[in-house]
Amino acid sequence: MLHCSTTTAKLLATLIAVCCFFSETSYANVAKSKRRRSSSVTLVSTTLSGSTAEERLAECSEKIERMLRSWNRGKVGVLIQTDDNETIFTKYPNDLFKPASNLKLITSAVALEKLGPDFKYRTDFFIDGELKNGVLHGNLILAGTTDPLLSGFFDKDINDIVREWADTFTMLGITKIVGDVILDNSYYVGNKTPVVNGEPIRFATMASFKRASESQLNKVSTVRTIKTKSGQKRVVRRGFRRRSRLKMVSIEPNTYCANALLSELQARGIIDDDKTLKKITYLRTLDRTAWKHIYTYFSLSLYQALKITNKSSDNFYADQLLRTLGGEFYGEGTIEKGLEVVKEFLVKNVGVARKEFQLSDGSGLSHNNTVTPHLIIEVMRYMRLRGKYFKEYYNSLAVPMAEGTLVGRIHHPLAQNIRAKTGSITGVSSLSGYLTSRNGKQIYFAIIGNGSGRRYSRNFARVEDTICKLLLEI
Q: How far apart are CA 63 and CA 470, in angstroms?
A: 8
- Opening angle at CA 158, ends 163 and 389, nearest 5: 120
Residue-wise pLDDT for 127-163, tens only, equals: 999 999 999 999 999 998 999 989 876 666 788 999 9
Is the pLDDT at 114 greater than 60? The verdict is yes
Instruction: Give the pTM.
Output: 0.82
Grade residue 287 by pLDDT with cuts at 50, 70 and 90: confident
Q: One-letter amino acid identity for 17? A: A
Q: CATH 3.40.710.10 residue ranges in the chain?
A: 48-116+306-472
- Assign residue 298 a region (left: φ > 0; alpha: ψ between -120 and 50; beta: otherwise): beta
Distance CA 433, CA 445 (A): 6
The stretch 307-317 carries a mean pLDDT of 93
pLDDT for the residue numbered 378: 98
The mean pLDDT value of the chain amounts to: 85
Check whether 193 has a pLDDT greater than 50. Answer: no
- List the one residue out of 417, 416, 421 whose CA is nearest residue 464: 421
128 Cβ neighbours under 8 A, 6+ residues apart: 138, 139, 141, 179, 290, 291, 292
Helix, strand, coil share (%) of the chain residues, nearest 5? 40, 25, 35
Task: Residue 146: count other Cβ atoms within 10 Å of its Cβ.
Answer: 26
In angstroms, the CA 37 to CA 336 distance is 43
d(CA 5, CA 1): 6
DSSP 254: T
Distance CA(10)–CA(22), nearest Å, equals 19
Rounded Cα distance between 444 and 437, Å, is: 11
Which DSSP helix (H) or strand (E) runs through 215? helix 214-219
pLDDT of residue 17: 57
Write out the residue limits of the CATH 3.50.80.20 domain(s) in the chain: 120-213+246-301
The CA-atom distances, in angstroms, between 336 and each of 213, 274, 292, 391 are 31, 39, 32, 29
Q: What is the secondary structure of 395-463 as a DSSP string?
A: HTSBBTTTBGGGTTS---TTGGGEEEEEEEETTEEEEEEEEE-TT--EEEEEEEEE--STTHHHHHHHH
Q: What's the CATH fold of domain 120-213+246-301?
A: D-tyrosyl-trna(Tyr) Deacylase; Chain: A; (3.50.80)
Model confidence at 200: pLDDT above 60? no
Q: What is the pLDDT of residue 37?
A: 42
CATH classification for the domain delimited by 48-116+306-472, as one of 3.40.710.10, 3.30.750.24, 3.30.70.2860, 3.10.180.10: 3.40.710.10
Is pLDDT above 70 for 330? yes
Range with lowest mean pLDDT among 94-103, 232-241, 274-283: 232-241
Which of 33-37, 65-69, 246-250, 453-457 is predicted most confidently? 65-69
Q: What is the DSSP string of 24-73?
A: HHHHHHHHHHHHHHHT---PPP-----SSHHHHHHHHHHHHHHHHHH--S
